[in-house]
Structure 1
Amino acid sequence: MSETATTAPAWQQDIFKVLKEGDVRQIAYVPDAGHSHVIRSAIADPDIQDIVLTTEEEGVAVVSGAWLGGQRAVLLMQSSGVGNCVNMFSLLSSANFPFFTLVTMRGEYADFNPWQGPMGRATQGALELMGITVLRASDPAQVEEIVRAGFDAAFEAGDRVAVLLGQNLIGRKKWERK
């Protein structure tokens, strides 16, 4: 059964609404359950090109290229992918590109996977060290406003912004045995 707008949590619907109203034309992503509604909505929308990445740092180049081509693009990733992008983030400041990314957090809120912890704890600091402004949304009622503020800072003011979406928004991650 596919996810519909009525089954997705309201905060996920709010994110796609902000991106759509902001005229985002490309969404680059590594598949992730926390971004599933936005990804499925982008795939279904003929005005948005969805771009599946093999690794997150490709997304930095994709969204930069979109900007050079006159389009707004957003990068979706997990906190574990931030570590993969650190070297590519230098492109953003060197070329003074605006940048907007939505990052679902791992390694917090009772995450079952101990490998997610170190990067989860380092995500905000790594982004800030690379000159990216970090906003955090952990309350579903605040997601839309925080995402909209970050989006405007990136595309109206030319900033580089990451919005961290707390793992508590998505819920506990568990191993599933079959």
Structure 2
Amino acid sequence: MNKERDDGAAAQDWPDRLYRLLKDNGITQVAWVPDGGHSRLIRLYEADPDIRIVRLTTEEEGVALLAGTHLGGARGVLLMQSSGVGNCINMLSLPNICQMPLLMLVTMRGDFGEANPWQVPMASATPAVLEAMGATVKRADTPDDIVETAQGCLQLAFRSSRMVALLIGQRAIGAKTFTETKH
């Protein structure tokens, strides 16, 4: 990590660096379900007229959409939260059996500092679920690790036609906090 830059700057600019990396490596379609952890990255893609963005109603739609993207000769990425991994389990058979690349960037809820207990069970299961479905799983827990790890995941997915998931930990994106209201 660059000692000159504080953690706040690193935490804020990783989406910009990740956007540039993905664009420079031929990502032309982005599928996503609304997610606070990916909000900056999503806004960057929404502002780019060269990128086709598809807002999904559920994460498994993105798996099928990106299979079609691959069959059409293009590259795409699926942005989702760890809770969405549970929605994709059956559909992940498609890239596994058909040996199609699928790059998933998964922000981890239910992780370090989580305040919402409903997020914890799926977060705990996310790596094992993805691996059981045939995905290679990598993790980044600091803002500076995200882009470097994404570079490796991107190459692995598209050069070897594999399903690859990058789990982006809450230490990197920041834990959501909820305040109690007193009545």
TM-score by length of 2: 0.90
Aligned partner of 1:89 among 83, 87, 92: 92
Q: Deviations over 1:76-129 (max 9, x none)?
A: 000000000000000111211111000000101121110100000000000000
State the AA in 1 paired with 2:30: I
Q: Which residue of 2 aligns with 1:61?
A: 64
Aligned partner of 1:132 among 135, 139, 144: 135
State the AA in 1 paired with 2:106: V
Aligned partner of 2:49 among 41, 46, 62: 46
- Superposed displacement of residue 176, structure 1: 5.0
Contact kept, 8 Å, 2:10 with 2:144, in 1: the verdict is no
Unpaired runs of 5+ residues, structure 1, are 1-5
Q: Which runs of 4+ in 1 moved over 4 A?
A: none
Q: Which residue of 2 aligns with 1:23?
A: 26
Which whole-Å CA distance do the structure 2 matches of 1:171 and 1:27 have between them? 23
Identity percentage of aligned residues: 49
Which whole-Å CA distance do the structure 2 matches of 1:173 and 1:114 have between them? 12
- The alignment status of 1:122 with 2:122, answered yes or no, reads no
Q: Which residue of 1 aligns with 2:102?
A: 99
Which whole-Å CA distance do the structure 1 matches of 2:44 and 2:130 have between them? 27
Q: How many residues align?
A: 173
TM-score by length of 1: 0.92
Contact kept, 8 Å, 1:14 with 1:143, in 2: the verdict is no
Q: Which residue of 2 aligns with 1:151?
A: 154
Unpaired runs of 5+ residues, structure 2, are 1-8
Structure with max Cα Rg: 2
